[in-house]
Amino acid sequence: MRITTWNVNSIKQRLPHLLAFLEEARPDVVCLQELKCQDEAFPRADIEAAGYAVETLGQKAYNGVALLVREPLTLSEIRRGLPGDASDEQARYIEALISGAETHPVRVASIYLPNGNPVDSPKYAYKLAFIERLRLHARALLQDEIAVVLAGDYNVIPEPADAADPEAWRSDALFLGTTRAAFRALLAEGYTDALRACDPRDGLYTFWDYQAGCWQRNAGIRIDHVLLSPQAGDRLVSASVQKHLRGLDKPSDHVPVTVELTAG
């Protein structure tokens, strides 16, 4: 089973790139973030025509997450929204159980974690609270002893090796010590950073800002992550970054990260 996460930074603008990727890579499950549209505006017909079932949690102009599942796999037990704060109206979390006749089930979540800047504003408190809610939910998901994949744009640079220029991010919400400590606490619940488990090299980035020639200078950061529960980690075959998609015409500033799991 191949599972991809990709912050497309507007599904309307990036639909041709997404459809080409689906045809080229044929991932079984795709976790999308930053749709920037409401559910009724999502290009469902185009995605379904490509052979994928679709579940979305949209929001006008901001945020938005989706799960795409290639037939004959199916989605069930859909959860829209992260538990722990009934007043949170931001569309940042969608989860489903992915099943198929030839594979053991996997519970997959598409996550768009808050950016948190500026750090002296309520946005940073919301980011930390969101990570804590995610940690508690991630712990609860382990109780079913089903493989769990928590994939998405975490807006967290875990280590200095995950940035081309760590000093440039020292005071940013993505790299503050409190942010990184919260991310480590999430991992400590028993989750594995799939990409780092497969490739410990420096220079693995998933995001290049549109400004200041970051792409041309390879001044990137790694903020898109796929976290695996122990049951999913036991099935890990490979993890990779599809960096070439950042070089397309009018690309997203993020690129996909794909993991491959055995059938079970």
- Of the residues 112, 154, 191, 205, only one is catalytic, namely 112
| Rg of the chain (C-alpha set) | 17
Sheet (strand 2-7) strand order = 52-57, 65-70, 29-33, 2-7, 257-261, 236-241
| Per-residue 3-state assignment (H helix, E strand, C coil) for 53-87 | EEEEECCCCCCCEEEEEECCCEEEEEEECCCCCCC
- 112 catalytic residue (yes or no): yes
- 254 catalytic residue (yes or no): yes
Spell 123-151 as b/e; 16+ CB within 10 A means b: ebebbbbbbebbbebbeebeeeeebbbbb
- Of the residues 28, 153, 172, 193, only one is catalytic, namely 153
Return binding residues: 7, 34, 153, 155, 253-254
Identity of residue 221: I
Backbone phi, then psi, for 218, in 5-degree steps? 55, 40
Q: How far apart are CA 158 and CA 49, in angstroms?
A: 38
- Of the residues 17, 137, 225, 254, only one is catalytic, namely 254
- Tokens coding 86: 């009934």
Q: Is 11 in a helix, a strand, or coil?
A: helix
Yes or no: say if 187 and 230 are a contact pair by the CB < 8 Å rule. no
- 137 catalytic residue (yes or no): no
Return binding residues for Mg(2+): 7, 34, 153, 155, 253-254
Active site residues: 112, 153, 254
